[in-house]
Amino acid sequence: MLNQGVIRRIDHLGRVVIPKDFRRANFLQDGDPVEILTNAEGEIVIRKFDPHKDLSDHIKYLTEQVEIYKYDLEKNKKILKLFHEMIDVLEE
């Protein structure tokens, strides 16, 4: 179903219906939160909202920083272990 387009009109309340086939293919169910944003090309993107994604990205960034700046190797090992455990939990 990738790259197949369907044309839908925006109704008078600003709503757009996501076709049932698209919802099924992307495991979207009634009540699931979706995120609406624009990308660098100015396209409107609708994707399933993942509340853990941003937190996971921040933890990965912090992990990289700790690995780059190795001030206290023993302390960093403990911090890195905790970061990796959190990343694993968030990505489940």
What is the residue-wise DSSP string for the chain? -TT--------TTS--PPPHHHHHHTT--TT--EEEEE-TTS-EEEEE--TTHHHHHHHHHHHHHHHHS-SSHHHHHHHHHHHHHHHHHHT-
Q: pLDDT tens digits, residue range 47-77?
A: 888 777 767 777 777 777 777 666 666 666 7
Query: What pTM does this model have?
Result: 0.49
pLDDT: is 37 or 3 the higher one?
A: 37
Q: pLDDT tens digits, residue range 7-37?
A: 899 999 999 999 999 889 888 999 999 989 9
